[in-house]
Structure 1
Amino acid sequence: MPAPRVLRLELEYDGAGFAGWAAQPGLRTVEGVVRDALGVLLREPVGLVVAGRTDAGVHARGQVASLATSSGLPPARILRGLAGLLPPDVAARDVREAPAGFDARRDAVARRYEYRVLTGPPSPLRRALVLHHPAPLDTDALDAAAALVVGRHDFRAFTPTRTEHVFFHRTVTACSWERRGDELVMTVEADAFLRHMVRVLVGTMLLVGRGAWPADRLAALLEGAPRGAAGRTAPAHPLTLVGVRYPDDDGRAAGPAATLPGT
């Protein structure tokens, strides 16, 4: 028998209606929905490997998953089939063949997230995608706090005390705040993330931004301080996984691709 093909999927989803990525008995999850749709198309059990396991309520517009399949169905047919089978809050944006052995999680070199904070009047149309923060925020202080995060640090202060993680060092390659109209958006990229890490970073930086903490207080937290020393965990709904980076030049596994028209 020929060796199974490896497929690479790029996924976008609205996390509001999901209990996170990872399949859980009795709960609606992104993994469960995508796996079930692929099972119908490929007519075989499907196991998915994902680049970043998002929590309940977290969105994605550049999630990457991989799977091995013995099906000969072309990527274009799989992409069209998923468009008809997946619910409106999740979509496959790209399907392509990947090199043998490609693993969406293991082969990723960086993941990038964005967190959106609305600093002006409340916006009913954006309430499901932003954290409304009516108090003023000092952007210079936020920038100073973000700069401290870049580098390799012990982030145990930024993940729940009860955790499956046993290793807490992560390398942050970029972290910054950007003004986009009436929103402040934090973008952070790292080799990997701990559970809730981005949300606790945001909750802590907002303390700095509104003047409750000096920026340099954050530096001490990055040396392995306990969880209780950091700020609150910010809500999940303004957080989006925007992309995953791989070693090749264009960030994708090599191989023939199928992309929906207009994407």
Structure 2
Amino acid sequence: MHPYGIIQAMETTRKVRLDLAYDGTDFHGWAAQPGLRTVQGEIEKALALILQRPIALTVAGRTDAGVHASGQVACFDLTEDEWARLKPRHGVDDPGVALTRRLNGLLQRTSQGSGSDVVIYQTQLVPASFDARFSALGRHYSYRLADQLTCQHPTQRHNTTWLTKNAVPLDLAKMNEAATHCLGEHDFLSFCKPREGASTIRTLYQFEFTRLADGVVVADLHADAFCHSQVRSLVGAAVFVGSGKRPVGYLAELIAKPSRDNAAPLAPPEGLTLTKVDYPEGETALAEQAKAARRLRTCEECD
């Protein structure tokens, strides 16, 4: 075994992909922060116990405090020997299955309350060119809104934003009309918290609102990537339109004149969930996408 935290340069490394979900309610976001409980921090601590050295995760989308994920993807490197030494047990001969079980066991012990608020669904080896962040072709988010008392279900309060001050149901026709002006490639500075030296240009493929049978309003968004707070700002601006606080052309104005001086309002975090991350097929395509994405942006993807 290597000294803690050291991998010998001559050893062959393997890339491991994690598919996971979490309830963000009791986490201070994805990114590890000293003294705070975060999704990255908990998973890296569990991996460090299993592999007996520090592990650094790369994630598809860094989520803020209170934001959830049902289709998050992360990756990390380990050596060929470490993968082989995961010692499958209880009739399991797949190291990935064994690692998944051990991770979930450790994560459940540190979870708040009964059950676990972070679950690893699958652990698998992937091509060395795979990068959870830069190899991604697109991210999908959903945002849930309860705009009427009849759809404010207590069992869903952790993943649905309640608009308790809105006495009139949202006008989804106006919201969807306003949302169409955001589709395509734009500078989303009015909807992002920019990072120094990072681009706020993104391509938005989908932004639409529907009302479910139980009355809850769901916004579905899909883009090549989202910058910091972009999804929550897009939803917040659309809610202003749907509640009559702003005209239908409000989002179009923000797109036409990108600025932080008149930034879009920010919707609360609890209604937001990262639902899916798209990746190309094949090792070559993964490498090409990662190379292209690194050239385009240098900021961390998060919302």
Determine the C-alpha separation between the residues in 2 that align with 1:97 and 1:141. Answer: 46
What's the counterpart of residue 134 of structure 2?
Answer: 106
- Who wins on radius of gyration, i.e. which is larger? 2
Is 1:79 aligned with 2:100?
yes
RMSD: 1.7
Taking the TM superposition and a 5 Å limit, the aligned residue runs for 1:27-106 are 27-70=36-79, 71-72=82-83, 73=86, 74-87=95-108, 88-106=116-134
Determine the C-alpha separation between the residues in 2 that align with 1:59 and 1:207. Answer: 23
Bigger helix fraction = 2
- Indicate conservation of the 8 Å contact 1:110/1:244, yes or no: yes
How far did residue 227 of structure 1 move? 2.5
Aligned residue among 136, 149, 172 for 1:139: 172
Change (3 A) 1:69 1:96: same
CA deviation profile, 1:98-153 (whole Å, cap 9, x unmatched) = 01121100100101111000122132222222112243211110111221111001
3-state SS in 1 of match to 2:267: coil
CA deviation profile, 1:205-233 (whole Å, cap 9, x unmatched) = 01111222222221121134223424321
Determine the C-alpha separation between the residues in 2 that align with 1:143 and 1:22. Answer: 33
Determine the C-alpha separation between the residues in 1 that align with 2:186 and 2:177. Answer: 16
Taking the TM superposition and a 5 Å limit, the aligned residue runs for 1:199-238 are 199-238=232-271
Determine the C-alpha separation between the residues in 2 that align with 1:165 and 1:172. Answer: 21
What's the counterpart of residue 116 of structure 1?
Answer: 144
% identical equivalent positions: 42
* Paired amino acid for 1:146: A
How far did residue 165 of structure 1 move? 5.6
Q: Out of 218-227 and 113-122, give the one that drifted further.
A: 218-227
What's the counterpart of residue 279 of structure 2?
Answer: 246
TM-score, normalization by structure 1: 0.90
What's the counterpart of residue 8 of structure 1?
Answer: 17
Is 1:17 aligned with 2:49?
no
Q: Out of 118-127 and 144-153, give the one that drifted further.
A: 118-127
Determine the C-alpha separation between the residues in 1 that align with 2:193 and 2:71. Answer: 25
Bigger strand fraction = 1
- Indicate conservation of the 8 Å contact 1:155/1:169, yes or no: yes
- Indicate conservation of the 8 Å contact 1:155/1:223, yes or no: no
TM-score, normalization by structure 2: 0.78
Is 1:26 aligned with 2:32?
no
- Indicate conservation of the 8 Å contact 2:254/2:264, yes or no: no
What's the counterpart of residue 257 of structure 1?
Answer: none
Determine the C-alpha separation between the residues in 2 that align with 1:91 and 1:130. Answer: 20
Unaligned residue ranges in structure 1 (runs of 5+): 254-263
Change (3 A) 1:224 1:105: farther
3-state SS in 1 of match to 2:136: coil
Determine the C-alpha separation between the residues in 2 that align with 1:61 and 1:216. Answer: 33
Determine the C-alpha separation between the residues in 1 that align with 2:183 and 2:197. Answer: 21
Residues paired across the two proteins, number: 249
